[in-house]
Amino acid sequence: MASEFELSRNITIGQYVPTGSYIHRLDPRIKLLVFTILVLAIALNTSYLGNALGLLLSIYLFWASKIPISYGLSGIKPAIPFIIILAVLQLIFQGNVFSGGTLFFEYGFILITSESIRLVIVSAVRFVEIILLSSVLTLSTSTTELTHAIQSLLSPLKKIKFPVHELSLIITIAIRFVPTFAIEMEKMMKAQASRGADFGSGEWWRIIQRTKDMLPIIIPLFNIALSRAEDLILAMESRCYTPGNDRSAYSVYKALGRDYLVLFIGLLLSFLLFFYPFPY
Amino acid sequence: MPEKPIIEIENLFHTYMKRTPMEHKALMGTSMVVNEGECIAIIGHTGSGKSTLIQHFNGLIRPDSGKVIIDGVDLSKKRIDIKALRRKVGLVFQNPEDQIFEKLIGDDIAYGPFKLGLPLKEVRERVKWAMDMVGLNFEEMKDRQTFALSGGQKRKVALAGILALKPKILVLDEPTAGLDPRSRNELLDKIKFLNKMENLTVIFVSHNMEEVAYLADRVYVMANGTDVLSGTPEDIFTDKDKLQRYQIGTPETVQVLYRLNDLGYNVNTSAFAVSEAANEIIKVLNDGEGENHG
Ligand SMILES: Nc1ncnc2c1ncn2[C@@H]1O[C@H](COP(=O)(O)OP(=O)(O)OP(=O)(O)O)[C@@H](O)[C@H]1O
Ligand SMILES: [Mg+2]
């Protein structure tokens, strides 16, 4: 029987699943670059075929990284309500904007055309693809590797005095702490439920009441977040961390032939998704 | 008093993060019986599944497989009155001071009773009673700010928040961890009082063997997700082989008595309550003096 409080089970962001696959062993800089470009390409593709290709690709990547696809899909579960709400809104309001194609249905300002249906389906699939792709990336890359990759990809910005190191540190810490806070939140929900709190049993339209019901979790969670941040600062400072200093790295990454091959294929696929006029 | 089981656990299994790469089997066939009015300690090394086990007692975790019966309610059934269960079983989490969220102490303790839908007067009475129980002065403390309290005071507030639900069974996860010796002793005395005078069934998790020796009627030892040993504190602390096998510490008194025994003094090694142990040591000292004079 699944527990009503198991939040962390569905959080895939910020977890690292070491399986030692070749996806794991790729140079993190190239991995990040390829994934970023792929996500952009998918985000801009509006055809059925292109997105089918993207979906296949994301599934393949899960398979290749030896991470169970069911685990990746569990990361989508919490987003399902948003996907549905978004789809409904698009279906109702976007008919006028995407009024091309065949007209299926018309009522007042609501137009449903083959184009607006395409928009709805494509955006839902696209959402899934992007979540899957970013999950593969974070599940197969350790935090250290990710920091390093972000830092080195942004390093050209150093020339214009952009705080590259600080930004990559912030991003990494944010990602790293997602599962930690999921666990904290789970604990807090359990603790407050033990005191008689109940979450989500009120009627959904009583939004104010339901928000109030969440206060016993939200306030302690803020406190915990702040004290965690303080701990982290202490830990970093006691290891002589100084922002803005030049730092050498413990591991030095060197791209191999394999990495360049992956880069080439990734770029090729992205170009395809960008520029190829898919017939459907 | 006839012994009546209030908690019965049989062959309980629990797996965290099921069907993910991080899947972890935390409980693998645990069994345990707690009788009404008993004070039970659960000990075992870190990660042995103690916290996982006690979260079954008020239905925060439902049994994957196995039997959990709390005061006659079978928790493997889908439809049970979970709120009534949580009222009956008060569970105090590890570091409960984190869960305080109201600005004023009184309000925070009153949260549970208000959730029960009790009338204001009754809520007030319960808050007062709960604060008395944990040794916080009602008039003086109820309007104090929660954030400005010490760690020990916060823990008392959190404990009072659970007591105000008037549970029949009190479950505490490492209640004294991180407290200074004085707050620790105060808290232990309160727990003992609740168990002996208010007839609460108490189950607590602890890494501190002095505490176990002081409070517990019976002890369950957990290792790797199962209960490996149970018995009275005497049974457990006098079984040297098993103590070593399951890496259980012993109270300092037991250690001293064992060493005296090894050195050839005739002491009773199961006299581990501080006062009894002191008597044993005085006995040894007196015997020694006797020899010198004679
Ligand atoms: N929410 C969770 N998700 C995943 N795994 C968990 C979770 N909570 C506990 N575990 C794992 O289950 C095992 C048992 O944990 P549990 O908290 O019951 O141990 P414990 O005996 O209470 O330890 P401690 O003395 O350190 O408190 C541990 O290995 C832990 O890593
Ligand atoms: Mg624990």
In contact, A17 and A74? CB cutoff 8 Å: no
In contact, B20 and A68? CB cutoff 8 Å: yes
- Rounded-to-integer distance, Cα A166 and Cα A172, Å: 10
ipTM score of the complex? 0.85
User: How high is the mean pLDDT of chain B?
Assistant: 89
Q: Does A193 touch chain B (CB under 8 A)?
A: yes
In contact, B31 and B11? CB cutoff 8 Å: yes
Specify the residue for token string 């790295």: A249
3-state class percentages of chain B: helix first, strand second, coil last, to nearest 5: 40, 20, 35
- Rounded-to-integer distance, Cα B199 and Cα A206, Å: 41
Does B17 contact A223 at a Cβ distance shorter than 8 Å? no
- Rounded-to-integer distance, Cα A196 and Cα A186, Å: 15
Q: How many domains does chain A have?
A: 1
- Rounded-to-integer distance, Cα B151 and Cα B219, Å: 28
Tens digit of each residue's pLDDT (9 = 90 or more) over A79-123: 888 888 888 888 888 766 766 677 777 777 777 888 888 888 998
Tens digit of each residue's pLDDT (9 = 90 or more) over A42-61: 999 888 999 999 999 999 99
Residue A100: predicted pLDDT: 67
pLDDT at residue B249 greater than cutoff 90:
no
Does B98 contact A216 at a Cβ distance shorter than 8 Å? no
Please, what's the largest Cα pairwise distance for chain B?
76
Specify the residue for token string 């070593």: B244
Does B17 contact A9 at a Cβ distance shorter than 8 Å? yes
- Of the partner residues A71, A192, A224, the one whose CB lies closest to the CB of residue B21: A71
Tens digit of each residue's pLDDT (9 = 90 or more) over B192-216: 999 999 899 999 999 988 899 899 9
pLDDT at residue A145 greater than cutoff 70:
yes
- DSSP label at residue B93: P
- DSSP label at residue A195: T
- Rounded-to-integer distance, Cα B127 and Cα B108, Å: 9
- Number of helical H runs and strand E runs in chain A: 10, 2
Structure tokens at B249: 């510490």
Domain boundaries B5-250, CATH class: alpha beta
Q: Evaluate the CA torsion angle B124, B127, B133, B134 in order and state its sign.
A: negative
For residue A2, name the pLDDT band (cuts at 50, 70, 90).
very low
Does A216 contact B111 at a Cβ distance shorter than 8 Å? yes
For residue B293, name the pLDDT band (cuts at 50, 70, 90).
very low
Angle at A122 between CA A116 and CA A123, to 5 degrees: 90
Full DSSP string of B220-233: EEEETTEEEEEE-H
- Rounded-to-integer distance, Cα B188 and Cα B208, Å: 12
**Is the beta carbon of B225 within 6 A of some atom in ligand 1?**
no
User: A 110-169 residues with CB below 8 A of B?
Assistant: none
Residue A54 belongs to domain spanning:
17-141+252-275
What percent of chain A lies above the pLDDT cut of 90? 30
Answer whether residue A176 is part of any domain. no
Domain ranges within chain B, ordered by starting residue = 5-250, 251-294
pLDDT at residue A130 greater than cutoff 60:
yes
Residue A205: predicted pLDDT: 67
User: Which amino acid would we find at residue B270?
Assistant: S
- Rounded-to-integer distance, Cα B83 and Cα B81, Å: 6
- Rounded-to-integer distance, Cα A64 and Cα A21, Å: 7
pLDDT at residue A276 greater than cutoff 90:
no
Residue B215: predicted pLDDT: 93
DSSP SS3 for A113: strand
CA atoms within 13 A on the CB side of A28: 19
Q: How many CB atoms lie within 10 A of CB A212?
A: 11
Which helix (H) or strand (E) segment holds residue B260: the answer is helix B252-262
For residue A77, name the pLDDT band (cuts at 50, 70, 90).
confident
Tens digit of each residue's pLDDT (9 = 90 or more) over B42-99: 999 889 999 999 999 999 999 999 999 999 999 988 888 888 999 999 999 988 888 8
- Of the partner residues B61, B86, B161, the one whose CB lies closest to the CB of residue A3: B61
Non-local (6+) Cβ contacts of B71 within 8 A are: B6, B7, B88, B168, B169
Residue A11: predicted pLDDT: 76
- Rounded-to-integer distance, Cα A105 and Cα A110, Å: 8
In contact, B129 and B162? CB cutoff 8 Å: no
Q: Which residues of B94-109 are buried (b: 16+ CB within 10 A; e: fewer)?
A: bbbbbbbbbeebbbbb
- Rounded-to-integer distance, Cα B56 and Cα B78, Å: 14
Non-local (6+) Cβ contacts of A245 within 8 A are: none
What is the mean predicted confidence (pLDDT) over A222-226?
91
Does B18 contact A190 at a Cβ distance shorter than 8 Å? no
- DSSP label at residue B279: H
Non-local (6+) Cβ contacts of B157 within 8 A are: B97, B100, B105, B108, B109, B134, B136, B146, B149
- Rounded-to-integer distance, Cα A57 and Cα A130, Å: 11
Answer whether residue A169 is part of any domain. no
**Is the beta carbon of B30 within 6 A of some atom in ligand 1?**
no
Specify the residue for token string 């809104």: A89
Does A223 contact B63 at a Cβ distance shorter than 8 Å? no
Closest chain A residue to B96 measured between Cα atoms?
Answer: A191
Pick from B285, B286, B256: which is nearest to B268 by CA? B256
Query: Who wins on pLDDT, B155 or A109?
Result: B155
Structure tokens at A280: 């459907």
Tens digit of each residue's pLDDT (9 = 90 or more) over A242-263: 877 777 777 777 888 889 999 9
In contact, B252 and B75? CB cutoff 8 Å: no
- Best of B12, B14, B16 to mutate for ligand 1, by most ligand atoms within 8 A of CB? B16
The pTM assigned to this predicted structure is: 0.81
CA atoms within 13 A on the CB side of B49: 25
Residues of B with CB under 8 A from a CB of A: 16-22, 55, 58, 60-64, 76, 78, 83, 86-87, 90-93, 96, 98-101, 111-112, 115-116, 161-162, 165
Query: Who wins on pLDDT, B246 or A231?
Result: A231
Q: Which residues of A touch B175 (CB under 8 A)?
A: none
Answer whether residue A172 is part of any domain. no
Nearest Cα of chain B lies from the Cα of A72 at a distance, in angstroms, of 9
Tens digit of each residue's pLDDT (9 = 90 or more) over B177-186: 888 888 888 8
- The CA distances from residue A193 to A100, B63, B159, in Å, are 52, 18, 14
Q: Which residues of B touch A8 (CB under 8 A)?
A: 17
pLDDT at residue B115 greater than cutoff 50:
yes
- Rounded-to-integer distance, Cα B67 and Cα B11, Å: 7
Nearest Cα of chain A lies from the Cα of B243 at a distance, in angstroms, of 32
Q: Which residues of B135-149 are buried (b: 16+ CB within 10 A; e: fewer)?
A: bbebeebbebebeeb
Full DSSP string of B107-136: HHHHHHHHHTT--HHHHHHHHHHHHHHHT-
